[in-house]
């Protein structure tokens, strides 16, 4: 099988349920200090949409469903006609979907053991019909979404925009993790078997690469925005 085969299966499956099409999104690893407003960028993406070439990382990040994926296990619906508590970007995303003829959609979340959750987003149905579908077929759909994700991790490459993110060395990532856990530079040095001065050197490099003003912000960027990717 290939990513193209997966796309074909996803389109066939979505249409068998009455939807226009579907998307698959996997998010970057979460981190300490990650807020709902910063769920992390997509690191894998597959779309059956005829306008998939317009769906870049900024467009994907505006999908209101992203903020609900981490920790979600049950399928849920979304509608382009609801707007409570949405950001302007999210409202614009929904308006754009409605302009394309999409009234509502179905999200099938998948929790990944590596801490990089994913979801299938099927679009085109009316919300009341989706709720009925969830009540009747939620276990089956959740199982298939999990199978799809397992295949997608092997067949769908890491998104090209992730490669544009600053890359941190393993040592820089280790120092960031320990700093986020509250260790001082000396304590981190003892844990890693290096000097505190060397820890400071790695932390300074990671902050400069990420353009972060603090260690915590650097961790958020590294794991939430794809600089450190779990494949």
DSSP string, 201-229: HHHHHHHHHHT-SSHHHHHHHHHHSSSS-
- DSSP letters for 93-112: HHHHHHHTT--EEEEEEE--
Decide which of 163 and 219 is more confident: 219
Out of 84-98, 133-147, 185-199, least confident range: 84-98
Alpha carbon distances (Å) from 27 to 41, 72, 183, 186: 6, 13, 27, 33
pLDDT tier at 230, thresholds 50, 70, 90: very low
Instruction: Give the pLDDT of residue 36.
Output: 45
Question: Highest mean pLDDT: which of 5-9, 154-158, 210-214, 222-226?
Answer: 5-9
Q: What is the pLDDT of residue 38?
A: 54
The rounded percent of the chain whose pLDDT value lies above 90 is 51
User: Quick one: pLDDT band at residue 81, thresholds 50, 70, 90?
Assistant: confident
Average predicted confidence (pLDDT) for the chain = 85
More confident site: 37 or 199:
199
Asked whether the beta carbons of 172 and 208 are under 8 A apart, the reply is: no
Longest dimension (CA), the chain: 61
Who has greater pLDDT, 229 or 77? Answer: 77
Share of the chain above pLDDT 70, in %: 87
How many CA atoms are closer than 13 Å to the CA of 84, on its beta-carbon side?
1
* Per-residue pLDDT, 229: 44
Return all residues near 43 (Cβ < 8 A) that are at least 6 apart. 26, 27, 28, 116, 158, 159, 162, 226, 229
Q: What's the CA gap between 223 and 231, in Å, rounded?
A: 12
Nearest to 122 by CA among 97, 147, 139: 97
Is the pLDDT at 226 greater than 70? The verdict is no
> What pLDDT score does 194 carry?
94
pLDDT at position 147, please? 96
pLDDT value for 34: 44
Rounded to an integer, what distance in angstroms lies between the CA atom of residue 133 and that of residue 184? 52
Q: Of 37 and 21, which is predicted with more confidence?
A: 21
- The residue ranking higher by pLDDT, 226 or 22, is 22
Please provide the DSSP assignment of 39-81 as one string.
Answer: ---EEEEEE--TTGGG--HHHHHT-GGGGGTTT--S-EEEETT
CA dist., res. 159 & res. 177, Å (int): 24
Assign 37 a pLDDT band (cuts: 50, 70, 90). very low
How far is 67 from 72, CA to CA, in rounded Å? Answer: 10
Q: 32-69 burial, b if ≥16 CB within 10 A, otherwise e? A: ebbeeebbbbbbbbbbbbeeeeebebeebbbbbbbbbb
Residue with tokens 């003829």: 101
Residue, of 38 and 28, whose pLDDT is higher: 28
The pLDDT value given to residue 163: 62
């Amino acid at each position: 099988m290939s990513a193209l085969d997966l796309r074909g299966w996803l389109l066939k499956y979505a249409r068998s349920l009455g939807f226009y099409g579907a998307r698959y999104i996997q998010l970057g690893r979460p981190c300490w200090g990650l807020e709902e407003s910063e769920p992390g960028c997509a690191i894998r993406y597959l779309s059956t949409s005829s306008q998939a070439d317009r769906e870049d990382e900024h467009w994907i990040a505006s999908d209101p469903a992203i903020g609900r994926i981490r920790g979600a296990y049950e399928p849920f619906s979304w509608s382009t006609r609801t707007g409570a508590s949405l950001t302007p970007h999210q409202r614009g995303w929904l308006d754009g979907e409605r302009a394309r003829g999409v009234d509502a959609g179905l999200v099938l979340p998948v929790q990944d053991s590596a801490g990089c959750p994913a979801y299938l987003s099927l679009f085109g149905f009316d919300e009341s019909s989706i709720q009925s579908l969830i009540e009747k077929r939620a276990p089956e759909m959740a199982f298939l979404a999990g199978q799809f994700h397992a295949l997608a991790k092997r067949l769908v490459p890491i998104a090209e925009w992730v490669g544009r993110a600053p890359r941190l060395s393993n040592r820089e990532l280790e120092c960031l993790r320990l700093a986020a856990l509250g260790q001082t530079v000396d304590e981190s040095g003892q844990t890693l078997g290096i000097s505190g001065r060397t820890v400071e050197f790695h932390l300074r490099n990671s902050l400069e690469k990420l353009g972060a003003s603090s260690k915590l912000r650097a961790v958020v960027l590294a794991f939430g925005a794809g600089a450190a990717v779990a494949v």
